[in-house]
Structure formats: structure tokens, C-alpha cells
Structure 1
Amino acid sequence: MNLDFASVWEMISDIVPENDALICGDEIISWKDYDLQSSKIATALKNAGLGPNSKAGLYLNNSNEYLIGQNAIFKIGGVPINVNYRYVAEELIYLLDNSDSEAVFYHACYSSRIKEISGSLPNIKAWIEIADGTKSEFEDSLKFEELLDSCDPMERIHRDPNTIYMLYTGGTTGMPKGVMYKQGEFLVFLFRTLKAMGYDVPEDINNLEEQIHNFKKDNTFIKSLIGCPLMHGTGMWLGAFLPLLLGGTAVTSRNLGFDPDQMWTQVEDTGTTNIVIVGDAFAKPMLDALDRAEESGKPYDLSSVKVIISSGVMWSEEIKNGLLRHHDMMLMDTMGSTEGGMGSSVSTRDNPPKTAKFSINPGVIIIADDGEILKPGSEKIGLIGTSGLVPVGYYKDEKKSAETFREVNGVRYSFPGDYAKLEEDGTITLLGRGSNCINSAGEKIYPEEVEEAIKRNDEVFDCLVVGVDDEKFGQKVVAVVSLENNKDINEDSLVDATRSYIAGYKLPKKVIFVEQVERAPNGKANYKWAKNIANESFK
């Protein structure tokens, strides 16, 4: 499909200029202003020396400015780089250097961190600060609001649909990796996702323009409330891209913590049609809030909600049933990763949900370790491979690209590392990552990275990190640690000492001290042993 993000959004802004494009709290941006502000910031990026294929980081909380900044990068033919706002200095420097970022958008609350890392990133041409009510601690920045006042809007240009779109995700060693797509191919993937929700897949820009006019005539635009961070694929792809590509509205909140009551109130205030979350970590408190409101005699008005979409972590059957008890809607549970989509599960009151069971997407195979492509009903488990939209590769990592994106019988597939069974009825039962990746509230946490951070403490001799099932977060991080002879440190002190090396969400929720960490004779970690130790500690 000969499309790119910025050109689609320019077309939409011409059709529905006065419609709401972005809502964050009480801040509402029309499609006309979304395009205008993005064009002005695009001029600022050009003035700073950025151009086609330039990378720019988005070190931002959920906000209208996040989506405006991203669109500005798309407008110049550049590549937005998602930055995890939980990262510490060392992680930020790695990501911004690895991605070859030339500019960084950041909220003022992170200005002290920017001040700390700026000297280590000489290739950054522009630090663009967005006010958020906190005092700035970094002087060498451009102010977002001042740029809107001083810059003329950039003229519209022709853009290459083969321009890379990239999303950073955790790598198997724990270091982030940029997953690269061609924009035109990625847009096809997004529109096919909309097909599962009952929307037609546009064949070209003219067909899409016709659809937008029909939505305008019928007033059937999507209004999507994004409960999870825009910095991750679920929030951006399902929460922001899908509604905006159809001329709808992306709704966010500046609250860093998830407040289910605030979210349901926002649903009522905005007339939200879609809600995007990450599994039980969001859905369970959402259900609890609905139950409390109902018991108090003041139930929330859910009449506008048509669908709740989740991806990234388990969404259990009992929680889905609880939500459906409050409102008849579609619950869409998608299985996939940054590297590719694998399957989906759609539940309604008439189609009861089942945990971790998904309808397989076209072009998906499950291949056993011996190379056999599994057929429905096979007793074997296998690695899920997805064709169709396969990433170009990992940015600057040819070795990992060759391992993950490879051909089977002449067809190119992506193998992100998820194992599953192919049931008799053709559905997939997801078994989890073949690696030891820990999934906590949708965040990927790689044991090796946490282990290395813990082992930087002088008191630690060896360490293994595993995930233990957790009702709220899906999994929680547990460290099994042995200490150096004649050294001593308690659990709280060890966690605090590790805090400067990795983001807080990666820190262990529990540390178990043992005499010796078990490893195989060749030095390989015995994660099965560590998992047993961790599970026993919670009995």
C-alpha cells in the first residue's frame, strides 16, 4: 500500500478539520490544530538539521504532545524512537546512542535526567522540552510552546512509503532493539487489524478517503481511550494509530499511575468507544471499580463502549466474564509481539471467553524443535512463526535479525520466541516464551539484564532471576542470590543498591539468599531450579 502516516493524517485533517483528534484530560486538539502544530514542530526539527530518515526520541509520558511530536517526525520523513520513561541514565544513553537519535522530546519532569545524560550524547542536535508544571533543570533546551509560537508550518511534501517505522523493544540480552518495518507495509497490517473489528480494509488512499467521508456522514468515528503507555506497541498501535488512521480520536491521561475510577469517569465524559489495556493488570482493577460503583448505587455509564482491546499479557476468563456482566461489548484479546501478530480471541456475552486460547492469524505456522510444521491436534508444542508482515530486521543487529526473521519452505517468517500448541479446532493455546522473559504488567523484563545489575554489587557472588506468577501483574521478578564469602547484605539494601543500574520496574520484588546458585557443568543457568526455589518461597 502506497501510504505513509503523515500523508494519511494530512488528508484526514482536510476532511474533518474541526473534529477532535486528541484529548488529554481537559485539553482537546482538533484535527486542524493537530496538523498545524505537528507542521510547526516539523519546521523546528528541520531547522535543527534533521531530515528524511533522521531519528528522534520521544521521552514522554502519555500526552497530546507525544502524538504531535511523533507526527512532526513523520512529516519530515524521519523515524520516531519510543523511549521508556522508566529508564535510568545508563539505559537512556544506550538507547539514544544505539538508535542514532538526533533530537529528543522530553517532559520537564525528566529534565534532571536529561541534564545528567546530555554530555554523553554529542550527536543530539535538539533537546525539546515540554512543560508539565515541574521546574526545568536543563538550560540547553528548546521549549515546545515557544516553537509553536515562532515556527511557520512546514509545507507538505511527498514521502516514501518505504521509509522505516521503528519500535524499540527488549532484546534477548535485555538491551533494547529497534524492530524495523516499512511504513506502507505496516499500515496494511494496522488496517487488517481493524478488519477483525468489522471495518473494511482500504485498497488505496482514495478508498481510505471515501471511508473517512462515510464516517463523517454517519458520525461513526472511533474514540479510543489509551489506558497503557504510548511508549509501548499496545498503546501506540492499538490505542493511537488505529483510531487516528480512521479519522477518530485518541484519548489519554497525564496520570502516570493507573486509576480505574478516573478512567471510567473519562469514558463517561468523552463517550469513549474503544478502550486499550494490557491484560489483567489493567482489567482486574477496572472490574473492581465497576463492582464498587454498582454496589454503591452509582454505576458508571458504559453505553458508549463497543470494544476493549488487550495485548501483551494474559487476560483471564473470569475477569472477561466480569466485565461482560456489566456491559455487552466486544473483548478483543490479541496475541503478538513487536516482531509480529499471531492470533486473536474475540469474546462477547454470546461468545464466552477462554484464557490464552486464540484463533490463528492467516500465514501463521507452529514449528516443532525438530523442524516439523505442526498440524491441528498435534501433541507437540512448537515455536510460533508469522508471515505476511515480517519486519525488515532489528536495527544494527544482523545476527539477531537472521535468527528471528528467517525462511521456511521459501516463505519468510518472524519467530519472536513464543511457544504454543495447535489444538484440534485450529486454535492456538499460548504457552509462553521459550526464553525466560518475564512479563510484568506488559513490560518485558529479561533475567540476564537484572542478574548483571545485581551482580554489580560487591557483596553478590552469583544470581539468577525468574518470574513468579502474580495475580495483579501477571508475573513478578524474584532473584535467587548467593553472596561472596564473608560478605553480607540484606534484601532491602541489595534492591536499593541495584536501583541506580536498572529501571525500578525491573527490580526484584523478592530476594532469596542461598548458599550456592545452581548451574550446569558448562556454566549455563539452571532456571528450573531457581523457579522452584522462588515458587516454594511463596507457599
Structure 2
Amino acid sequence: MEFNLADMFEVVADKVPEREALVCGAHRTTFGDLEKRANRMAHYLRSQGVKSGDHVGLYMYNCNEYMEAMLACFKIRAVPINVNYRYVKDELLYIFDNADMVACVHHREFAPHIAEIRSAAPDLKTFIAVDDDSGADLNAIGAVEYESAMNDQSDQRDFEARSGDDYFILYTGGTTGMPKGVMWPHKNVFFAAMGGGGHFSPNGPCEKPEDIETRVAENPLCGIALAPLMHGASWWYACIQLLAGNKLVLNDQHSLNAEHVWDVCEREKVNAVQIVGDAMAIPLLDALEANPGRWDLGTIFNVGSGGAVFSEAKQNGFRAHFPNVFITNSFGSSEGGQMGMDNGQKKSESGLGNVTRTEYMDVIIDDETPRRHAKPGETGIFARSGYIPVGYYNDPEKTAKTFVDVDGKKWLLTGDAAKLEEDTSITVFGRGSNCINSGGEKIFPEEVENALKAHDGIFDALVVATPDDRWGSKVTAVLQLREGVTLTMKDVQDHCRNHIAGYKVPRAVHVIAEVPRAPSGKPDYKTAKAYALSGEGEVA
């Protein structure tokens, strides 16, 4: 047995086959049934010539079939490729070409999009369509329906031995440029992003693959993942739950409907809610405020966030509604996995949170030759070593810039600016590439955004740099206000001065109907900056 996700899932499925594993809308399945259906899809893929190392696209909304297809790939040592369902033609062209797919499992409604760009992937021969209400024509790409594909397929395991070095490739859009495919070996992602199976066990992370059986919770918890499975944080959370023998609930809506989420949490007796930052926290809190006493949510004891900024104001909002809740704010990225967790115990004067420094988590000074580790008091780049990806697929140039040697050891540079404190803890500031240099002062947008979102009248906010004749760049806020709220520039600045230093306060404010974000909740700074530069919505 190896630290392979399929190997370990099979152990869990054998231990608790009758236990409920997965719920998405009206679809419910046990561990035993999930295992059998994944086996059948694995046999179908193999019958179509998909072999070890081949790449299979997963182009779907949240659904049971997403997890089945992903497990099926793992079982035959194929490599699943997440395809963002919001991508438009140019982005789809890029990923279908860059990822070298040979098969694609997709929702039926995406068949026309695939037909438009399939010439970019000449090796892509197999299409499997999960039915929906779209009625899209499957003949254009020769797709077979998902359930038909599994008819007459064996649900037995007769697959070759697997390896902990088998790949999962996670495509991440980031904030600029085309998507990048992060190449994660199974063993590395299991320890870097999933806690090594130790999140729900007093025994801690597994020492050997077989230990996963003893990490299966005797009394299973129920956790809901609200982000799309195509997003790394949600996929990792899904695997954490399933490998612990817990019940995983998926958001079955194509967007976040907060009232529906709380309906599901009440019905399924959810214990843990996994979100992606403030973009999800805000509507969830708004629904609770607007509907006092509507839901019995007494089973919830954890609200956790990862993958985007989770402001202190929104964390306090959840504490107000769930007095005994345990808040977890994880730092990490598609390349870094989970790189520490801030529980709010240590307050810093600035930054998004504070995490523990270890021999595998540090701050690297990247603008010196040779690169070196930061000394206490210095600011550099948040970095990780040990269990890290092997690079970006088909992109040696970006790999060389991101995965670097420091003192003979390989380190991943996350791109997040961070400071090594005098007590050797690490304060994380935010994406260094978005840092605003105003008259020589460095200002991190996320910190200003946190201050803005502490205002009751501001629904959401992004902060960008725009040109300034005197200072080179100025802090510019793009705000989505709550209904009926109007704010002047002075209102915004006076509020911010209560939370951040004067040089960080916005010097320009633009109001927008909806702050631009990806479906995962990640900020779209490019669109926000273009809006600000256009002069639209500027507030005096």
C-alpha cells in the first residue's frame, strides 16, 4: 500500500461501507456505493484507452459524479485536470491545449463549448456527459452519457499497483495570466494539504499508509464544502472528510445561495462549514441577520476558511451567531497546500494573520543573490519546503521562478509577502505582486480591504494601485455598498483611519454594482483596476 489517495480511500470504504459518504442536493451515497461507482467509471475509462499518466478533464459543477470521476482517475493512475466552468473561449483553448487531455467528463451543457475548442486538443477522444436540464446536443463531440458509460462495467478492483508519486494536477488561475497546472504527487498533497489524515484523530498524521484505517472517525462528523470542487481548497476539504470517514455535503447550487446553504446545514445537521474567505462569509452572515431564529444550527461548531482573505470583522460576525464556534483561518495556495492556521490568539498591528515558523515554513529573502532565510524583523516571501509540488505542467520558466534552492534545499515561493517576527512567528501580509508602492511606502491591498469591510455599509471591497502624479501610485478602493447606503470619500477615509495607518487610507473610491470575483471567491484585481482606471463610479 502507498500514500496514494485511491489506496487510502479503498481502505476507508472497506471499513465503513454502509456509512453515508456524500450528499449533493437530492443525491446521496454511501462509502460502499461511492467505491463501486468509481470502480465502474475507472473500468470505462480504461476501456477507452485511458492509461497510467494520461490526463482526464473534469469540467463540471459540484456533483457526486465529480468525486466519482476523480476517484476513478486515481484508481487507474490517470491524472484528473480541473476545468473552471467559468472559463471563456480563450481560457478553455489554453487549458485544453496545455493540459494534454485524452478524455473529459463534463456536464452536458458544456458540450457546445468543448465543440468550439476541441481542435486545440487533438488527443482528446473520449467525452462523458453528466446529464442536466440543458438538452445540449452530444453528437457534436460524440459524447456518451455518464450512466450509459457505466452500464455493464465491473465494480470490482482489478487495477495495477499505484504509487504515492502518482500525480494530481490542479490548474490555478491566480490573479494574472493564463491558468497554471500545479503538479502534486499524491503523497505530497496528502501531507501538505490534508494534514496527513490527522485532522480528526488524536493519533495525528499517518506514519504509514495503512494508518488511515485507524484515522477513520468512530463518530463521524458532517462537513459542508461551499466552494466549487474545481477549486483546490474545496477539493482538499472533500478529501479530508472522506478519508476520515466523515460525511461530505456539497453545495448543489451553481452559485452561493445563503438561505439554501443554511437550509442544507439544518437538514444535514452539519458540524463544520468550509468557506473561501469574505466573499462567502458576507452573504452567509447577511442571511442570518435577516432571518433571526429561522434555522436550528446548534450542531455547527466550526467555521473554517482557506484560499482567500477571511477578515477579523467577518470572523467576529460568526462568533456572534455561534458563541462556541471554533474559527479556523488557513493560509495557503494551490502550490503551497495548507501553510499554517491562524486562530486569532496572536494579534499583530498589521497583516492578515500569524502562523508558526517551522523547518518547513519560513520567510525567504528573494531579492538577494543568493537567496537566504529571513532574520527576525525582516520581510520577504512566505515559503514552504518538504512536501511541495514538483512544478508547473508544461511551464519550465514559471517552475524555475517559483521552486528555488536555498542553502541546498528546495523551497516553494508562494508570492505572499510575510515578516519573520522577533518571536520567530510569521505574519502574512498578502500577495506581494499586488503590493502598492506609494511614495516608497509598501501597502498590501488585503489589509486595506479588511479595514473597509469592517464598515457596516460596505458589502465587499477590493483595493488596487492607480497612478498618482506625486506618489507614483495611490491606494484606490472599489466598493460594493449595501442597498440604500451612500458614502462620501471622507466617510470612507474617517472609517479606515480607525483601523489602519494614515498612509494606507484610500485616496480614491469607486462604487461598483458587484465587486468582481472568481466563483471560488478569489479577487479579480485586473477587472477591478480597469474599472477604477475608467473613472466609473468615482465618489467625491
Bucket of the pairwise TM-score, normalised by the shorter protein: 0.7 to 0.9
Q: Deviations over 1:72-106 (max 9, x none)?
A: 11111110000000011221121022111111111
Q: Report the Cα offset of residue 164 of structure 1.
A: 1.3
Q: Report the Cα offset of residue 191 of structure 1.
A: 4.4
Q: Report the Cα offset of residue 264 of structure 1.
A: 1.1
Paired AA for residue 114 in structure 2:
I
Q: Report the Cα offset of residue 59 of structure 1.
A: 0.5
Q: Report the Cα offset of residue 417 of structure 1.
A: 1.1
Paired AA for residue 354 in structure 2:
F
CA contact (8 A) 1:309 1:333 kept: yes
Q: Report the Cα offset of residue 302 of structure 1.
A: 2.2
Runs of 4+ in 1 over 4 A off after TM superposition: 193-199, 351-355, 437-441, 466-473, 504-507, 509-513, 533-536
Q: Report the Cα offset of residue 374 of structure 1.
A: 2.3
**Compared CA separation, residues 385 and 120, structure 1 to 2 (3 A):** closer
| Partner Cα distance (2:415, 2:310) in 1 | 20
Q: Report the Cα offset of residue 162 of structure 1.
A: 1.1
**Compared CA separation, residues 360 and 537, structure 1 to 2 (3 A):** farther
| Partner Cα distance (1:247, 1:207) in 2 | 13
Residue 363 of structure 2 is aligned to residue 366 of structure 1: yes
Residue 147 of structure 2 is aligned to residue 145 of structure 1: yes
Q: Tell me the equivalent position of 1:491.
A: none
Q: Report the Cα offset of residue 30 of structure 1.
A: 0.9
SS in 1 for 2:527: coil
CA contact (8 A) 2:175 2:524 kept: no
Residue 314 of structure 2 is aligned to residue 333 of structure 1: no
**Compared CA separation, residues 323 and 353, structure 1 to 2 (3 A):** farther
Residue 119 of structure 2 is aligned to residue 111 of structure 1: no
| Partner Cα distance (1:346, 1:196) in 2 | 15
| Partner Cα distance (1:405, 1:273) in 2 | 37
Q: Report the Cα offset of residue 288 of structure 1.
A: 1.4
- Match of residue 393, structure 1, among 391, 397, 421: 391
- Match of residue 307, structure 2, among 287, 290, 312: 312
Residue 152 of structure 2 is aligned to residue 136 of structure 1: no
| Partner Cα distance (2:479, 2:422) in 1 | 30
Q: Report the Cα offset of residue 149 of structure 1.
A: 2.3
| Partner Cα distance (1:406, 1:261) in 2 | 45
> What pairs up with 1:12-411 in 2 under 5 angstroms?
12-139=12-139, 140-153=142-155, 155-157=157-159, 158-170=161-173, 174-192=177-195, 195=198, 199=202, 200-212=204-216, 215=217, 218-219=218-219, 221-238=220-237, 240-294=238-292, 298-327=293-322, 328-340=324-336, 341-347=338-344, 351=345, 356-362=352-358, 363-368=360-365, 369-370=367-368, 371=371, 373-376=373-376, 378=377, 380-411=378-409
CA contact (8 A) 1:107 1:132 kept: yes
Residue 448 of structure 2 is aligned to residue 429 of structure 1: no
CA contact (8 A) 2:197 2:244 kept: no
CA contact (8 A) 2:416 2:431 kept: yes
| Partner Cα distance (1:471, 1:422) in 2 | 34
**Compared CA separation, residues 196 and 159, structure 1 to 2 (3 A):** closer
Number of positions where the alignment pairs a residue of Structure 1 with one of Structure 2: 457
| TM-score under structure 1 length normalisation | 0.78
Of 315-324 and 110-119, more deviation after overlay is shown by: 110-119
| TM-score under structure 2 length normalisation | 0.78
The sequence identity of aligned pairs, in percent, is: 32
Q: Report the Cα offset of residue 28 of structure 1.
A: 0.3
CA contact (8 A) 1:179 1:393 kept: yes
Q: Report the Cα offset of residue 211 of structure 1.
A: 2.8
SS in 2 for 1:257: coil
CA-atom RMSD, angstroms? 3.1
Paired AA for residue 356 in structure 1:
L
CA contact (8 A) 1:283 1:319 kept: yes
Q: Deviations over 1:113-165 (max 9, x none)?
A: 12222344321121110001220222110110112223222533321211112
SS in 2 for 1:402: helix
Q: Report the Cα offset of residue 13 of structure 1.
A: 1.3
Q: Report the Cα offset of residue 435 of structure 1.
A: 1.7
Q: Tell me the equivalent position of 1:508.
A: 527
| Partner Cα distance (1:386, 1:256) in 2 | 34
**Compared CA separation, residues 135 and 205, structure 1 to 2 (3 A):** same
Q: Deviations over 1:221-272 (max 9, x none)?
A: 232201111111111112x011011112221132111011111111111111
CA contact (8 A) 2:363 2:426 kept: no
SS in 1 for 2:13: helix
Q: Report the Cα offset of residue 68 of structure 1.
A: 0.7
Gaps of 5+ in 2: 436-444, 451-461, 465-472, 483-522
| Partner Cα distance (1:286, 1:14) in 2 | 36
Q: Deviations over 1:416-468 (max 9, x none)?
A: 21112223344433222222499999xxx9x9xxxxxxxxxxxxxxxx9x984
SS in 2 for 1:50: coil
Q: Report the Cα offset of residue 389 of structure 1.
A: 1.5
Of 285-294 and 81-90, more deviation after overlay is shown by: 285-294
Q: Report the Cα offset of residue 282 of structure 1.
A: 0.6
Paired AA for residue 256 in structure 2:
F
CA contact (8 A) 2:357 2:424 kept: no
Q: Deviations over 1:500-536 (max 9, x none)?
A: xxxx9788358569xxxxxxxxxxxxxxxx6xx9799
Paired AA for residue 102 in structure 2:
E
**Compared CA separation, residues 194 and 204, structure 1 to 2 (3 A):** closer
| Partner Cα distance (1:263, 1:361) in 2 | 36
| Partner Cα distance (1:102, 1:386) in 2 | 33
| Partner Cα distance (1:467, 1:94) in 2 | 32
CA contact (8 A) 1:468 1:534 kept: no
Paired AA for residue 134 in structure 1:
S
Paired AA for residue 167 in structure 2:
I
CA contact (8 A) 1:344 1:361 kept: no
Paired AA for residue 126 in structure 2:
A
**Compared CA separation, residues 360 and 14, structure 1 to 2 (3 A):** same
CA contact (8 A) 1:420 1:432 kept: yes
SS in 2 for 1:90: helix
